[in-house]
Amino acid sequence: MEYVVETKKLTKKFGIEYAVADLDLKIPKGEIYGFLGPNGAGKTTTIRLLLGLMRQNTGTIKIFNKDLNSTRLEILKKVGSLVENPSYYGHLTARENLETLRKIHGAPKQRIDDVLDIVRLSDVGNKKVKGFSLGMKQRLGIAASLLNNPELLILDEPTNGLDPSGIIEIRNLIKRLPSEYGMTVLISSHLLSEIDQIATSVGVISKGKMIFQDSIEEMRMLSQQKISLKLDDNEKAWRFLSSKGVKVEPENDCLALVEQSDQEIAHVIRMLVENNFSIYRVEEEKRSLEDTFLQMTMEEKAV
């Protein structure tokens, strides 16, 4: 698999506190990578390290398979970013704001029309930004980050403070970028419900450490319903069910059935009763993605 961003043992300390600790980040090409974690988990510090805004204490950062420290300017020419709130001049129009940045990037004039079209602000390009809603200002910030036609776009909490319609606007915009413009997107958030609707890959960070990294589908698998059975002899029942090809796992003082349909569960219970097992309790546990995320981060905090 080709990775646009790859870090190894990335570490950043402030005094004796670790903001990022031995972080191995892997962002596949063409993916929307959801970078998740509670506030203060180390997401923004990691993003600042990726953008060369601060230097790591130890570890390596590779972007486009090149070392960031030795080829920083070459790499950053192909990276766009929106970190925290976008900067703009309220007394200037959207187009004038973009023009000031276009000159810095050395992008062609046509690029202003292109990015206004991508973020769907073409019809208000000549309006002063001080009259924009928060969602429009955020889209203008994303337009500015697209001026250099980046291959990698890094967005730090881009829906923070937006109302539901603003969130939907930004979400729809981000989802279009890989397929329509060939970009790889890193989007950080502390809201799993938001990332779930955008991301194709996800990394969960807590206290500066990566505690989960895989596809969003793999994370959903952790959230499937589970049936817990409490029996008179769990170990004997586990051996019996396993011999019949039933997917079952010992868990505390119960047995857990995973990924079973209602019919399969009924069949398992019938088999147990017919083979003289006493079933004390049958419980269903449904875990949402949010529950899975909270459990991951709570377990890490408890360590």
Question: What is the three-class DSSP state of 186?
Answer: strand
DSSP-derived pairing of the beta strands 58-63 and 32-36: unpaired
Shared-domain flag, residues 273 and 184:
no
Per-residue pLDDT for 302 more than 80?
A: no
Query: Sorting pLDDT into bands at 50, 70 and 90, what band is 132?
Result: very high
Across residues 282-287, what is the average pLDDT?
A: 76
Shared-domain flag, residues 116 and 235:
no
Shared-domain flag, residues 103 and 237:
no
For residue 161, what pLDDT is reported? Answer: 82
Q: Provide φ and ψ at 253, rounded to 5°.
A: -105, 25
Tell me how crowded residue 176 is: count the other CB atoms within 10 A of its CB: 11
Task: Please provide the average confidence, as pLDDT, over all residues in the chain.
Answer: 89
59/179 Cα distance (integer angstroms): 32
Distance of CA 31 to the CA centre of its chain: 10
Shared-domain flag, residues 51 and 132:
yes
Shared-domain flag, residues 132 and 238:
no
Per-residue pLDDT for 66 more than 90?
A: yes
In a domain, 292, yes or no: no
Q: What is the DSSP string of 213-251?
A: EEEHHHHHHTTS-EEEEEES-HHHHHHHHHHTT--EEEE
For residue 52, what pLDDT is reported? Answer: 94
Shared-domain flag, residues 23 and 85:
yes
242/238 Cα distance (integer angstroms): 6
| Final residue of a structural domain among 194, 220, 246 | 220
In a domain, 62, yes or no: yes
In a domain, 300, yes or no: no
Distance of CA 220 to the CA centre of its chain: 13
Shared-domain flag, residues 213 and 252:
no
For residue 65, what pLDDT is reported? Answer: 95
Range of weakest confidence among 6-10, 40-44, 262-266: 262-266
Express each pLDDT in 240-270 by its tens digit: 998 988 888 888 888 888 767 788 889 999 9
The CATH number of the domain holding residue 238 is: 3.30.70.1150
Shared-domain flag, residues 214 and 239:
no
Shared-domain flag, residues 270 and 178:
no
Shared-domain flag, residues 261 and 154:
no
Q: How many domains does the chain have?
A: 2
Enter the DSSP assignment of 247.
-
20/9 Cα distance (integer angstroms): 9
Across residues 123-148, what is the average pLDDT?
A: 93
Shared-domain flag, residues 128 and 31:
yes
pTM of the model: 0.78
Q: In terms of Cα–Cα distance, which of 194, 187, 264, 177 is closest to 229?
A: 264
The CATH number of the domain holding residue 13 is: 3.40.50.300
Q: In terms of Cα–Cα distance, which of 215, 82, 230, 59 is closest to 152?
A: 82
Lay out the sheet containing 226-231: strands in order across.
Answer: 248-251, 254-258, 226-231, 279-285
Query: Sorting pLDDT into bands at 50, 70 and 90, what band is 159?
Result: confident
Express each pLDDT in 81-110 by its tens digit: 998 777 889 999 999 999 999 998 889 999
Range of weakest confidence among 51-65, 72-86, 113-127, 141-155: 72-86
Range of the domain at 199: 3-220
